[in-house]
Amino acid sequence: MVNDDSPAFHPDLTRARFMPPTSATRGNRALLRFVSGLGRTKPPTDGELVDLGDDVLLRVHRPTSASAADAGARRPAVLHLHGGGLIIGSATQGDRLCRRIADELGAVAISVDYRMPPEHPYPTPLDDAEAALRWLAAEPDVDPARIAVTGESAGGGLAASLALRARDRGEIALAGQALLYPMLDDRTGQAAATHPRMLRLWNPRSNRLGWGMYLGAGTKGPEATPLSADELALAVPARRAEQGPAALRGLPPTWIAVGTLDLFHAEDVEYARRLTEAGIPIELHVIEGAYHGFDAAEPSAAVSRDTVQRQLDALRGMLAAR
């Protein structure tokens, strides 16, 4: 008999054993990107589509129950960045969350279709996220002092990078960042996972593929030049955090949630520890037995609904009038 000491999946996640170990591979990446991009040029229900140029689209959601008394009032706002390992996905993934943010928090919520590698490696996706943030801050119905960023997986990592860039440039002071199992460290896929048999929807091989393309390893020509240590620190939040507490000071209050069976568990817990060390208000929510992308794969599960509600509650607190 084989001795298997692997931990159990969360009891609410009844489909876990049927989920594949990963989603994107070198062979299916192009097809998945095409499929995930279907509908990206159609405005969201009760929302609008804004073209920033260069095929960068914003899906904009405003509260549908705004009263006449709200006319002319400035609202809080949230910028959402979608997941997909930096190489697949589209802003349509954020429609449901953004609609809830708009209606439940009374905020303007947008999700950006940032360009992706290998055609558009770093810094283009981050530049697109920053362009979306600048657009949002300039909207007449948005209070630029009450803007938060959020995202899941690769989108959570981009949100963390955007928060660092915004802090560095000092033009837009973010009110907070809510990161759901964020992708923060390009070195994670270089070693075996603690429980490789338990990984779902994202594994070390896919992580190496996504980060490699983002950092330029999947390109040809001049773009293939390896990034310097300083450039890597700007591109990879975990590397920036390793520069010490001073590298993270001035970041906004942060919420991070991650499952114990997620490939990103260790890097997310470590990032939270370094934020705490830097004096940043941090709420870390660790979900026992949850795998990567569990909330999207099993949205009706109680643990999924609870986690998304915690994300909304965290954003609510960040966006409260100051």
What is the tens place of the pLDDT at every residue in 33-57? 999 999 999 999 999 999 999 999 9
Q: Specify whether the CB–CB gap between 62 and 161 falls below 8 A.
A: no
Phi, psi of 110, deg, nearest 5? -130, 150
Query: Which entry of 186, 268, 292, 304 is annotated as an active-site residue?
Result: 292
Angle at CA of residue 192, ends 84 and 311, nearest 5°:
40
What is the tens place of the pLDDT at every residue in 51-81? 999 999 999 999 997 654 466 689 999 999 9
How high is the pLDDT of residue 196? Answer: 85
| Catalytic (active site) residue 153 | yes
Q: What percent of the chain has pLDDT over 70?
A: 92
How high is the pLDDT of residue 65? Answer: 79
**What is the mean pLDDT of the segment spanning 108-113?**
98
Mean residue pLDDT of the chain comes to: 93
| Catalytic (active site) residue 185 | no
Q: What is the C-alpha to C-alpha distance for residues 21 and 16, in angstroms, rounded to an integer?
A: 10
**What is the mean pLDDT of the segment spanning 14-30?**
95
Q: What is the C-alpha to C-alpha distance for residues 216 and 220, in angstroms, rounded to an integer?
A: 8
What is the tens place of the pLDDT at every residue in 228-285? 999 999 999 999 999 999 999 999 999 999 999 999 999 999 999 999 999 999 999 9
| Catalytic (active site) residue 262 | yes
What is the tens place of the pLDDT at every residue in 119-151? 999 999 999 999 999 999 999 999 999 999 999
Distant-in-sequence, close-in-space partners of 51: CB < 8 Å, separation ≥ 6: 57, 58
Query: Which entry of 36, 111, 153, 304 is annotated as an active-site residue?
Result: 153
Query: Which entry of 113, 128, 185, 262 is annotated as an active-site residue?
Result: 262
